């Protein structure tokens, strides 16, 4: 158990759905004893989404964090008891394939399950029928069976956790509606309700789809959209007579028919059907009726039969026995969707002490509550939460229009087969660099990230690709990929290429205290002369890697940081003393990376400053001019080639591009995209934060010990690093043995032929210089040369542990 505060802060939790109840339990378990849960509806079924949730829990997700949340929910609810039975019914899960595309995707899903340690098996149609005798055998190609999935008894779990929290001192007040959030000087001080005020040091909004209403009281936009989703129960089936015990209600696996956006569970002798097949049905959170005024429950809207009609036909096709039944009761139930389908967790940076735990499924509820309780108690959670933190959204992603469009799209795509590189189609383009017009003209193939349009390759380079000898790709890995990327990578290694680095986050840190502050915040030594650049790590108190940064000291008191997520800025702002000023300069500036053996031939004639290796060495910065454009040049390269990142203000970006382009013509310069970029960085062994390492990993196991200077003085995370033992796992470089084989990331890795996966791939890409696919993976320490297997769509492909870096270990491409 963790450090319990000496006197517990006063906490108000808004909402007694599954999230609020689980949180009260987790906080009181950690010794917090001044918890008040305020609920507008009557307990124990106050009328939110939890009150009617059918409780299906499928644990496997592309997100390792979501899967871990769900695993904890299953563990915890299995052990919780209410009314003499467990709060989890482990009937298992069965996901069906009725199309070849889904059948292939289930194999990919089985790989994800293996990566995250979830038991599961791909089974044929006969085995599916054994588990679910009502299925039409002719419709089913097969399924993915996960015996540990099942049904959460949500309201029972609420009750059991409430009782435990109350026994430890928590208060639950129902029929108490929060009407205002009180604040002073940027800190929350309490809440007002229709029954008086409650002073509080911390307020947690666990108000489910009412989140935006609470957000408005606090002056904060909450990026979620309430949407209605249809759930119906059939009349009794003769075929189910006597099959299920009315107390446990279900014995057969929860069933998914994603090709038709449907799921099923048993309710004793009836079948419950959930549908995502209908049009998005947004609900205005501000117009939801109060409990006493709602026809059923505030979260339950009248069933719209016409929306369900096509689904009902699909149900009867899959389960022919349903032809003898009809829809007996149905409703349109409301819950939350977010722009990226992930929950919204963490403390608001705009209002200190105001926490969010919103857009959480029953599936993830206990895991989320544990993580938020850890975070509130220790300042960090034991799992990496970066995909869930409220701070992940860019300001360009905060408009209500953006949230509504994206969240509705998430609803539509909830069961779709989604490629890891697939971008949403709307609203685009949103953020573009100053070079956008040129990129369009060069036939850029854009993918979206953080709201930015990012070129992945340029059709203009198709001619160069004609000579590339590449193995053909199977259709999945060929999606969002082009052989042109190979030509762009080659041009970078052999000539020179321009990369749009504008989406790279840039922070400016200035002021008398800037150096001391950055020394305290990060792991490497930054006390160097102006003009130096340092690769350094933002660590948390336990030594976990929160981010990797480049820090350029441009003047005594002026630093420019190359950072990763918006959370980096929040972290720095949180800790900054008064004599340090921090600004995100990303939107007003831009950056071009000019890299390749001819980079100096291209750039040197454009400036009067000396760009020789002697005058401007590796990891050095210089303010200079490129033609008419003032730039900051940084001699570093994520692709591992000679060259510079050239930064200027957005207004001069186009001029910079054109100047470099013109000067580059005689050298055969090309524009190159992220597909080549990713390949080159993998060959060079440069890690991508958020994929290869996160807060769950320390620098040594991530292979980043070189960026830690233990003797520079104290810094956050140092004490924890001192106490570390030998690593039990390492971020390990692998190459695939078959030059034609490709993996994409998150696949399970097996060290011995039998047994469980020993680890999983973090990121991967074809190394065009090496002529093989490179994959990084978390694995137990293994010697170079060790053979392993990576499972890709159910097939094991051989790979070998290799020494790093794979490309140019002597740095001859960079140091010249």
If one asks whether residue 672 binds ligand THG (CB under 6 A), the answer comes out as no
638 binds, among ligand FAD, ligand THG, none (CB under 5 to 8 A by kind): ligand THG
Q: CB 154 → ligand FAD: shortest distance, Å?
A: 6
Judge contact between 269 and 236, C-beta under 8 A: yes
3-state secondary structure of 656: helix
Nearer to ligand FAD by Cβ, of 69 and 559: the residue is: 69
**Sheet-wide strand order for 11-14:** 171-173, 35-38, 11-14, 202-205, 354-358, 344-347
Go through the chain and tell me how many residues it has. 816
List, in sequence order, every residue forming a beta bridge with 226; answer none if it has no partner: 336
Q: Given the rule CB under 6 A, which of 158-166, 386-394, 623-631, 632-640 is the region that contacts ligand THG?
A: 632-640
55 binds, among ligand THG, ligand FAD, none (CB under 5 to 8 A by kind): ligand FAD
Q: CB 756 → ligand FAD: shortest distance, Å?
A: 26
Residue in 251, 564, 649, 800 binding ligand THG, rule: CB under 6 A: 564
If one asks whether residue 549 binds ligand THG (CB under 6 A), the answer comes out as yes
Residue found by looking up tokens 């930064």 in the block: 647
Judge contact between 533 and 558, C-beta under 8 A: no
If one asks whether residue 548 binds ligand THG (CB under 6 A), the answer comes out as yes
Query: How many residues in the shown chain lie near ligand THG by CB under 6 A?
Result: 15
Q: Which residues are catalytic?
A: 229, 263, 548
**Sheet-wide strand order for 178-184:** 178-184, 187-193, 196-199
591-620 residues in contact with ligand THG (CB under 6 A) are 619
Q: Which residue is nearest to ligand THG (CB)?
A: 562
List, in sequence order, every residue forming a beta bridge with 35; answer none if it has no partner: 11
Q: CB 786 → ligand FAD: shortest distance, Å?
A: 40
Cα–Cα distance, 428 to 485 (Å, whole number) = 23
Q: CB 686 → ligand THG: shortest distance, Å?
A: 4
Which backbone phi and psi does 361 adopt, to 5 degrees? -75, 160
What is the full DSSP assignment across 573-597? HHH--TT-EEEE-TTTEEEEEEEST
619 binds, among ligand FAD, ligand THG, none (CB under 5 to 8 A by kind): ligand THG
Q: CB 132 → ligand THG: shortest distance, Å?
A: 48
Residue found by looking up tokens 């900051």 in the block: 632
Nearer to ligand THG by Cβ, of 384 and 548: the residue is: 548
Q: CB 679 → ligand THG: shortest distance, Å?
A: 15
**Sheet-wide strand order for 581-584:** 533-539, 545-555, 558-563, 505-510, 581-584
Residue in 649, 686, 740, 804 binding ligand THG, rule: CB under 6 A: 686
Cα–Cα distance, 568 to 566 (Å, whole number) = 5
User: Token pair of 548, please?
Assistant: 């990797």
Cα–Cα nearest to 519, from 740, 711, 778, 275: 711
Nearer to ligand THG by Cβ, of 258 and 550: the residue is: 550
User: Token pair of 536, please?
Assistant: 């350094």
Q: CB 537 → ligand THG: shortest distance, Å?
A: 10
Cα–Cα distance, 123 to 142 (Å, whole number) = 6
If one asks whether residue 645 binds ligand THG (CB under 6 A), the answer comes out as yes
If one asks whether residue 106 binds ligand THG (CB under 6 A), the answer comes out as no
Q: CB 783 → ligand THG: shortest distance, Å?
A: 22
Judge contact between 586 and 506, C-beta under 8 A: yes
Cα–Cα distance, 79 to 57 (Å, whole number) = 15
What is the full DSSP assignment across 281-293? EE--GGGPPPGGG
If one asks whether residue 550 binds ligand THG (CB under 6 A), the answer comes out as yes
Nearer to ligand THG by Cβ, of 310 and 597: the residue is: 597
3-state secondary structure 243-277: CCCCCCCCCCCEEEEHHHCEEEEEECCEEEEEECC
Residues that bind ligand FAD (CB under 6 A): 14-20, 38-41, 46-50, 53-56, 177-178, 206-208, 210, 214, 229, 231, 274, 299, 333-335, 360-363
562 binds, among ligand THG, ligand FAD, none (CB under 5 to 8 A by kind): ligand THG
- Give how far the C-alpha of residue 99 lies from the chain's centroid of Cα atoms, to the nearest Å: 28
564 binds, among ligand FAD, ligand THG, none (CB under 5 to 8 A by kind): ligand THG
521 binds, among ligand THG, ligand FAD, none (CB under 5 to 8 A by kind): none
Nearer to ligand THG by Cβ, of 442 and 707: the residue is: 707
Residue in 504, 518, 721, 777 binding ligand THG, rule: CB under 6 A: 504
Nearer to ligand THG by Cβ, of 223 and 643: the residue is: 643
Nearer to ligand THG by Cβ, of 147 and 530: the residue is: 530
If one asks whether residue 700 binds ligand THG (CB under 6 A), the answer comes out as no
What does DSSP say about strands 171-173 and 35-38: parallel, antiparallel, or unpaired? Answer: parallel
Cα–Cα distance, 400 to 331 (Å, whole number) = 27
The site for ligand THG (CB under 6 A) is made up of 504, 535, 548-550, 562-564, 619, 634, 636, 638, 645, 686, 707
């Amino acid at each position: 158990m963790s450090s319990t505060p000496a006197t517990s802060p006063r906490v108000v939790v808004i909402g007694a759905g599954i999230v609020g109840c689980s949180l009260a339990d987790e906080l009181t378990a950690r010794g917090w004893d001044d918890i008040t849960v305020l609920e507008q509806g009557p307990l124990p079924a106050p009328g939110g989404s939890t009150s009617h949730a059918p409780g299906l829990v499928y644990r496997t997700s592309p997100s390792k964090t979501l899967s871990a949340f769900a695993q904890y929910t299953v563990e915890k609810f299995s052990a919780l008891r209410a009314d003499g039975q467990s709060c989890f019914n482990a009937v298992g899960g069965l996901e069906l394939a009725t199309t070849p595309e889904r059948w292939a995707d289930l194999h990919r899903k089985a790989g994800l399950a293996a990566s995250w340690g979830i038991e599961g098996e791909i089974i044929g149609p006969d085995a599916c029928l054994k588990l679910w005798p009502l299925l039409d055998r002719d419709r089913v190609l097969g399924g993915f069976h996960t015996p540990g999935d099942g049904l959460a008894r949500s309201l029972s779990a609420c009750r059991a956790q409430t009782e435990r929290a109350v026994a430890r001192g928590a208060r639950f007040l129902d029929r108490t509606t929060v009407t205002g959030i009180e604040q002073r000087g940027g800190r929350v001080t309490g809440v007002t309700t229709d029954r008086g005020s409650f002073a509080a040091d911390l307020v947690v909004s666990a108000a489910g789809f009412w989140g935006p209403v609470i957000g408005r009281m606090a002056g904060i936009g909450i990026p979620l959209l309430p949407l209605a989703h249809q759930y119906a129960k059939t009349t009794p089936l003769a075929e189910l007579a006597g099959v299920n015990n009315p107390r446990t209600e279900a014995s057969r696996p929860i069933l998914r028919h994603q090709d038709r956006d449907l799921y099923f569970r048993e309710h004793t002798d009836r079948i419950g059907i959930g549908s995502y097949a209908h049009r998005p049905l947004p609900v205005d959170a501000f117009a939801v009726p109060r409990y006493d005024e709602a026809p059923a429950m505030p979260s339950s809207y009248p069933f719209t039969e016409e929306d369900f009609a096509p689904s009902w036909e699909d149900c009867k096709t899959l389960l022919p026995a349903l032809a003898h039944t009809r829809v007996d009761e149905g409703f349109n139930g409301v819950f939350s969707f977010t722009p990226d389908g992930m929950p919204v967790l963490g403390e608001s940076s705009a209002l200190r002490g105001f926490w969010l735990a919103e857009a959480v499924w029953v599936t993830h509820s206990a895991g989320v509550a544990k993580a938020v309780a850890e975070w509130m108690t220790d300042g960090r959670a034991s799992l990496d939460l970066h995909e869930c933190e409220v701070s992940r959204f860019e300001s360009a992603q905060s408009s209500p229009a953006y949230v509504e469009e994206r969240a509705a799209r998430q609803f539509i795509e909830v069961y779709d087969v989604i490629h890891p590189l697939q971008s949403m189609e709307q609203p685009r383009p949103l953020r573009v660099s100053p070079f956008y017009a040129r990129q369009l003209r060069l036939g850029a193939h854009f993918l979206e990230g953080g709201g930015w349009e990012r070129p992945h390759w340029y059709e203009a380079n198709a001619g160069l690709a004609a000579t590339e000898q590449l193995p053909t790709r199977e259709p999945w890995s060929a999606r969002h990929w082009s052989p042109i990327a190979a030509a762009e990578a080659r041009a970078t290694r052999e000539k020179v290429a321009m990369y749009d680095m504008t989406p790279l986050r840039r922070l400016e840190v200035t002021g008398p205290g800037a150096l001391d502050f950055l020394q305290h915040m990060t792991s490497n030594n930054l006390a160097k002369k102006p003009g130096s650049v340092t690769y350094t790590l933002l660590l948390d108190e336990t030594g976990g890697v929160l981010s990797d940064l480049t820090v350029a000291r441009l003047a005594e008191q002026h630093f420019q940081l190359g950072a990763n997520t918006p959370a980096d800025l929040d972290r720095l702002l949180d800790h900054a003393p008064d004599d340090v000023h921090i600004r995100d300069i990303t939107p007003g500036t831009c950056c071009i990376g000019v890299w390749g053996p001819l980079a100096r031939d291209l750039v040197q004639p454009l400036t009067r400053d000396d760009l020789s290796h002697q005058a401007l060495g590796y990891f050095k910065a210089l303010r200079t001019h490129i033609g008419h454009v003032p730039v900051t040049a940084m001699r570093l390269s994520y692709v591992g080639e000679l060259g510079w990142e050239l930064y200027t203000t957005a207004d001069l970006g186009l001029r910079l591009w054109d100047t470099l382009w013109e000067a580059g013509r005689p050298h055969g310069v090309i524009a190159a995209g992220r597909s080549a970029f990713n390949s080159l960085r993998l060959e060079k062994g440069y890690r991508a934060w958020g994929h290869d390492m996160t807060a769950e990993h320390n620098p040594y196991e991530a292979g980043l010990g070189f960026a830690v200077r233990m003797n520079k003085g104290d810094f956050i995370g140092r004490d924890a690093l001192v106490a570390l033992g030998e690593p039990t796992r390492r971020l390990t470089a692998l190459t695939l043995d078959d030059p034609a084989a490709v993996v994409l990331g998150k696949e399970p890795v097996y060290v011995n032929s039998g047994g469980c996966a020993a680890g999983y791939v973090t990121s991967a890409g074809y190394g065009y210089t090496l002529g093989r696919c490179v994959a990084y993976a978390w694995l137990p320490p293994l010697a170079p040369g060790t053979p392993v297997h990576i499972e890709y769509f159910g097939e094991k492909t051989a790979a070998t542990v290799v020494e790093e870096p794979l490309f140019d270990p002597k740095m001859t491409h960079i140091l010249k």
